Amino acid sequence: MSDMRNFVLRDEDGSEHGVFTGKQPRQAALKAANRCNGTKSEPITIRLRERGTKKVQVFKAWKEIVKAPENKPSWMPEEISKPFVKKEKIETIE
């Protein structure tokens, strides 16, 4: 599990809160997107900074309600929330 990386959610003003883990920045962004209120027509911007670096990954994120897969477990509801992210750019903090 040593290959897991920590990404901190960053606001426009530079304040940081919330930590999401993943092997890649996109994996952490999907976890953050699942907690957001963005829609496909109005996505929100997610900024993630990897701990120990000055690079900030910027994503457009939203989630949609979709039908659960056919082979779903019995406890899963009929409709689930599915996150989507699209990488916009990489910023550097100075």
Q: If we measure between CA atoms, which residue out of 72, 68, 65, 82 comes closest to residue 30?
A: 82
In this model, does residue 67 exceed pLDDT 80? yes
In this model, does residue 76 exceed pLDDT 60? yes
Q: Where are the beta strands (DSSP E) in the chain?
A: 5-10, 16-22, 44-50, 55-67, 79-92
pLDDT for residue 1: 52
pTM of the model: 0.84
User: Which CATH number characterizes residue 72's domain?
Assistant: 3.10.470
Distance CA 61, CA 91 (A): 17
The amino acid occupying position 68 is A
Distance CA 4, CA 25 (A): 10
Number of domains in the chain: 1
Q: Which domain holds residue 75?
A: 5-92
